[in-house]
Chain A
Amino acid sequence: MNNITKHIRNFSIALLFFVILQISHAASLELVILVHKDNSISDISSVDLRRIWLGKKGEINGLPITAISAETQLNSKIVFYKSILNKSRKGLRKYYIREELKGTFKKPKSFKNIDLLLFEVQTDTTAICFIDKADLPDSLNLKIITVDGKHADEKDYIIK
């Protein structure tokens, strides 16, 4: 009986540690918005980012824009959805399901991992995505754009 209690206690501590680790990691993210290097956009408003990810807007300055993401961006999604969409991951999933049942609706295309996501942004001139700066290799030929005129390292950058 004592052993079982001990295992439960250890498991609880490990779980708590894991949760704290995840939260602290999410808090330390520095998300940037990426587009294809030939895309003429250099800045985007947070309102337009919201509209694009909610499927309400499919163009910027008359040119098509396509939101994409990677399945493995779990922590980045928490930060982006909260700061830009004001929704939880579950809340956004519910929103997408509702909109898809209502009729034709294009939700952001999802890729298996960040490598495939980065490859897509390099090849598709309409693609736009968010990514943790730490996941961004130096050699890639991509364009980081500002949000509401702010860079990611500025104090009042909105995605954090």
Chain B
Amino acid sequence: MLRGTLFQIHSLLLIIFFTSTAISVSSTKEIKFKGWLDTEFKGDNKEDTKSYFDVDHLYLMTEVNLDEGFSGFAEIEFEHAPNTDNEKGQISLDRLYSQKVFSDYFGLRFGKFSTPFGYWTPTHWAILTETVSKPLHELNKYIPSKSVGFEAFGNIFLQKHEFEWKLFFSNGSEIEGTDEMDDKSFGGGADLRFVHANGNSFVGSSIYHQHNPQKDGRTERSFVGYGGITLGDFDMRSEFIYQDRSNGVSGVEYNNIATFYVTGKYQVSPDIAIGTRYDDGDDERNFESKIHTMTSLFLNWTPISEIIGKVEYDFHSSDNVNYEDYNSWALYLGLIF
């Protein structure tokens, strides 16, 4: 029922946004419509599970560029072939913001935007990542991938090098249903990334602070250190995440968590890349907060820039004796339009 209502609200928003942008074509500089979709076939060798096909995502985006550095952006997500009759799948307003760029050094953004935390969290979308599987901090959603509030951002050019900075202030954990505040505290954070002059290497750090009413009202302070380097056809990247948690309002004590991953990718030809990723850290979702170690082998195929195919095989193990080790696999095809 609730999801049905949400669908109607989102549909209405979608129609209003697209209609209003279409009407205002003559008074704007530029309007862009874009999107992407992907499908998967995935499975694992756990008992009582079988492989299946998934119509994973459909994203529709609109971008409006006006004069004087003003622009707007909206993105609607359809996940797992939603059907509101039987309340399956998911439709959500993934991002919606307006922004003003004052100069290369400073811009402001208001609305719902990607949380600037490390490398993977703001990249987030399966169409942009080299693997179907997510690193542990994304899998567990330790950090909300979106924030609602305002964000300041810019680039600082230091001779041939660059610093990219972001600073944001948000509704804490609330990224949907923002007209009814459950969370009485605000959140926020910052990201600073150094990009080397050659553009082939970067290193950065982000912090994020939020009050989490869905998790017993605990306060979460998160930190990520990250970096990447490209050497010819070889790419390497790593992130280390640490989250410090206060006691909940119920008095329950929560363990701090830490995860990291390191990934390497080799571009065999213009169309094909192969690589591996190693993950290690606390996994609340699959192994009751015990250590989860995952090794992924993957192949990316991009015959043209708008198509990406992925083949992946993952090995999972844990120090939780109640769970058996298992392997998983996935075939993926994504299309950008």
Query: A residues touching B (Cβ–Cβ < 8 Å)?
Result: 47, 50-51, 54, 56-59, 62, 86, 88, 90, 93-94, 97-98, 100-104, 106
A57 near B305: Cβ-Cβ < 8 Å: no
Q: How far is the CB of A30 from chain B (nearest CB, A)?
A: 25
A93 near B101: Cβ-Cβ < 8 Å: no
B336 near A88: Cβ-Cβ < 8 Å: no
* Given A54-B199, A56-B162, A88-B270, 15 further pairs, Cβ under 8 A: A47-B197, A56-B155, A57-B104, A57-B155, A58-B104, A59-B103, A86-B198, A86-B199, A94-B302, A97-B306, A100-B34, A101-B336, A102-B123, A102-B128, A103-B114
Per the 8 Å Cβ criterion, residues 66-123 of B in contact with A are 71, 73, 95, 99, 101, 103-104, 113-114, 122-123
Name the residue on B nearest A59 (C-beta). B104
B114 near A104: Cβ-Cβ < 8 Å: no
Given contacts A58-B101, A104-B63, contact A90 B270 (CB under 8 A): yes
A104 near B65: Cβ-Cβ < 8 Å: yes
Cα(A65)–Cα(B258), bound, Å: 44
Query: B residues touching A (Cβ–Cβ < 8 Å)?
Result: 32, 34, 36, 59, 61, 63, 65, 71, 73, 95, 99, 101, 103-104, 113-114, 122-123, 125, 127-128, 155, 157, 160, 162, 197-199, 270, 302, 305-306, 336
Choose from A88, A90, A101 the contact partner of B128 (Cβ within 8 Å).
A101
B95 near A103: Cβ-Cβ < 8 Å: yes
Q: Which residues of B contact A94 (CB under 8 A)?
A: 302, 305
Cα(A86)–Cα(B99), bound, Å: 31
Q: How far is the CB of A83 from chain B (nearest CB, A)?
A: 14
B73 near A101: Cβ-Cβ < 8 Å: no
Sorted nearest first, the 9 A-B pairs with minimum C-beta distance are A93-B305, A94-B305, A104-B71, A47-B160, A104-B73, A57-B104, A97-B305, A59-B104, A103-B73
B157 near A50: Cβ-Cβ < 8 Å: no
Q: How far is the CB of A85 from chain B (nearest CB, A)?
A: 8
Q: Which residues of A contact B122 (CB under 8 A)?
A: 102
Q: Which residues of A contact B65 (CB under 8 A)?
A: 104, 106
Cα(A98)–Cα(B104), bound, Å: 20
Cα(A82)–Cα(B216), bound, Å: 54
Name the residue on A nearest B101 (C-beta). A58
A101 near B114: Cβ-Cβ < 8 Å: no
Cα(A106)–Cα(B198), bound, Å: 21
B128 near A98: Cβ-Cβ < 8 Å: yes
A57 near B73: Cβ-Cβ < 8 Å: no
Q: How far is the CB of A126 from chain B (nearest CB, A)?
A: 12
Cα(A93)–Cα(B199), bound, Å: 17
- Sampled A-B contacts (9; CB under 8 Å): A56-B155, A57-B104, A90-B270, A97-B336, A101-B34, A101-B128, A102-B128, A103-B113, A103-B114
Q: Which residues of B contact A50 (CB under 8 A)?
A: 199
Cα(A59)–Cα(B104), bound, Å: 7
Q: Which residues of B contact A98 (CB under 8 A)?
A: 128
Q: How far is the CB of A60 from chain B (nearest CB, A)?
A: 10
